[in-house]
Amino acid sequence: MIDSARPQDVFGQRAAFYATSQTHSDVSQLGGLVALAAPRADWRVLDVGAGTGHTALAFAPHVAHTVGVDLTYEMLAQARLLQRERGQRVSWVLGDAEALPVSDASFDLVTCRRAAHHYVHIERAIDEMVRVLKPGGLALIDDRSVPEDDDVDALMNQLDIWHDHSHVREYRASEWAGMLQARGLSVDHLEMYIQHRPLSTFAHGASDEDVAAIRERLALATPHERDLLALDERDGELSFNNWYLCIKAAKCAG
């Protein structure tokens, strides 16, 4: 039985890694998010679960003001270091995604990248994002996801628990669309994408015991699971598919 962990405990220890992580600092992927949102120069942007600031910093040059909110002091400390290196203007706020410390209808765009799968009460976090959006504003979510397959859904969520004990759930595209639409948002864009990642990058920061559990579970994967995972081994390194989702939704203007 794995004990759950507080995100601020896990990410406080891993903050320096996330500041330089290729997965989180991917310039091409961040540029795609900016292009998808098509921000205007007069916009105010809130980045929820800002971590070490990569998303907030990517949007900052294109808008009037950007605010990054995160639960972990150490992550925001790394974000401030990156901000100073790049000379950009971003405000950083220590706060909980499930109780955002900002006013109603105060942002044109709310982003949340690679954080939502840690939220214990995901629907409460979405309610908060909707609350702080202006009428007609956009929500842009990019997060780990799983395919519409019960076996691989369960497998990937279990692997991620071993990777990070603060993990809660990676949601399917259908789940994300349903949660956003139930709150009156119109889903304008929904895209799934896959990164075939080596185990060494997936399991960074995990204990030896947890890495061993990941390896053991992958060794027991069924033919169906192996096929969807595209599980392979090269030079002694296991690699497998990791699913992600990008979704843009608009708040009703009325």
- Spatial distance between the Cα atoms of 108 and 65, rounded to a whole number of angstroms: 10
Mean pLDDT on 84-88: 91
Question: Residue 26 pLDDT > 90, yes or no?
Answer: no
- Buried b or exposed e, range 42-56, using 16+ CB within 10 angstroms: ebbbbbbbbbbbbbb
Tell how strand 107-113 and strand 44-48 pair up: parallel
Residue 198 lies in a domain: no
> Could you tell me the two tokens for 63?
């808008």
Residue 85 lies in a domain: yes
Give the residue among 143, 119, 116, 153 at the shortest CA–CA distance from 229: 153
- Spatial distance between the Cα atoms of 170 and 6, rounded to a whole number of angstroms: 17
- Spatial distance between the Cα atoms of 198 and 196, rounded to a whole number of angstroms: 7
pLDDT score, position 22? 57
- The residue range of the domain holding 96 is 7-144+168-193+244-251
Residue 32 lies in a domain: yes
List, for residues 41-64, the tens digit of each pLDDT value.
999 999 999 999 999 999 999 999
Mean pLDDT on 214-236: 96
Question: Residue 219 pLDDT > 60, yes or no?
Answer: yes
Residue 99 lies in a domain: yes
pLDDT score, position 17? 53
Residue 112 lies in a domain: yes
- Spatial distance between the Cα atoms of 21 and 105, rounded to a whole number of angstroms: 33
Q: Which residue has the higher pLDDT, 48 or 7?
A: 48
Q: Which residue has the higher pLDDT, 135 or 25?
A: 135
As a whole number, the mean pLDDT across the chain is: 92
Contacts of 101 (CB under 8 A, 6+ apart): 69, 93, 95
pLDDT score, position 16? 52
Residue 96 lies in a domain: yes
User: Number of structural domains, the chain?
Assistant: 1
Residue 178 lies in a domain: yes
List, for residues 100-134, the tens digit of each pLDDT value.
999 999 999 999 999 999 999 999 999 999 999 99
Residue type, 16: A
Residue 216 lies in a domain: no
- CATH code of 24's domain: 3.40.50.150
Query: With a threshold of 0.85, does the pTM exceed it?
Result: yes
Of 1-5, 67-71, 135-139, 244-248, the range with the lowest mean pLDDT is 1-5
Mean pLDDT on 185-197: 97
**Residue 4 pLDDT grade (very low, low, confident, very high; cuts 50, 70, 90):** low
